[in-house]
Amino acid sequence: MNPKIIAERDNSLILFESGKVKTVPNTLYNQVKYRDYKGDRIIYHFDNETYVQETFDDGIFNCFMSEETIQIRDSVGISEAINAHKKNNQDKSFDKLFKKLYFIEKKTELMAEMINVFGERVVTKTHKQKGSTYYIIDDRFMVDDVGVSHFKNDRGVWKFLCTVAQGNLSKMTIQTKIGEIELGSTELTIMGKIGFLLSPDITDGVFFEQLSDKMKSVLKAEIEFDSTGMGGT
C-alpha cells in the first residue's frame, strides 16, 4: 500500500502506510514524492532527451540530457525544477542545474579544451595527492584552480602574486555535448589571469613590484625586443 498524507504541519508530513503512521520532514522533495508520486520513485521527463529518474535511494537522482548522464543529490533543486516545468514547460531551471553540475563533474576536461587555445605556453598540471589542478604560464607564472596566481622566484619556488588586472572577461561560454555552458566566476578569473600573465602589463605597479629583479629585467627585455619588431614572425 502506498503511503498517504493524512496531515500536514509546518515542519512535518504525517503519512499512513500499511497500517502504520510515520512522520517525514515537510520539505519540497517530500511533498513531490508523497503527494504527486504516492511514495514511488520520482521519474519526470522535461523533454525527449532530458529527464530524471530517482534511484532506489531516496533523494538521489540519475539525470539525463542529450545522452549525457550525471547523478544529482540536490533533491530540493530537482523538485523545484519539476514544479516549475509543470507550471511552464519552457522553464529552464533543470537545464541550468544540470549544466552547473555537469561542468563541475567535467571541469578538468572542459578547462583543458579551453586552455589548449593558448598552445604550449600554458601547461596544465595536477597535484596527485591533493587532486588540485594548476596552470603554468611560460614556466614562470602559475594560476591555481581557485584563481590564485603565483610567480616563480629566483630559487624556483612558487610565491603568491597579487594580480589586479584580470582581463575584461565578463562572460565566456564553452560548447559541450549538452550545449553551450557559461563559465562561472572562478573559471572566468582563471582565464582572465592566464590571459594577463601571457602578456603582462609591466606598467601595473601592483603586479610588477612583487617580482624579483631578475624577472623584471627579463620582462622588460622581452617587451623591448617585441617593440623593435624583432619579435615578429
- Give tens-digit pLDDT for 157-166: 999 999 875 5
Whether 168 shows a pLDDT value over 60: the answer reads no
SS (H, E, C) the chain: CCCEEEEECCCEEEEEECCEEEEEECCHHHHHHHHHCCCCCCEEECCCCEEEEECCCCCCEEEEECCEEEEECCHHHHHHHHHHHHHCCCCCHHHHHHHHHHHHHCHHHHHHHHHHHHHHHEEEEECCCCCCEEEEECCCEEEECCCCEEEECCCCCEEEECCCCCCCCCCCEEEECCEEEECCHHHHHHHHHHHHHHCCCCCCHHHHCCCCHHHHHHHHHHHHHHHCCCCCC
Residues 60-86 have a mean pLDDT of: 97
Residues 170-183 have a mean pLDDT of: 89
Q: What is the pLDDT, as a whole number, of residue 166?
A: 54
Whether 32 shows a pLDDT value over 60: the answer reads yes
1 confidence band (pLDDT: 50, 70, 90): low
Whether 82 shows a pLDDT value over 60: the answer reads yes
With pLDDT > 90 as the criterion, what percentage of the chain qualifies?
70
Where do the domains of the chain lie? 1-39, 41-105, 107-227
Residues 191-200 have a mean pLDDT of: 92
Q: What is the pLDDT, as a whole number, of residue 194?
A: 93
Q: What is the pLDDT, as a whole number, of residue 165?
A: 53
Q: What is the pLDDT, as a whole number, of residue 115?
A: 92
Residues 108-118 have a mean pLDDT of: 89
Whether 85 shows a pLDDT value over 80: the answer reads yes
Residues 211-233 have a mean pLDDT of: 82
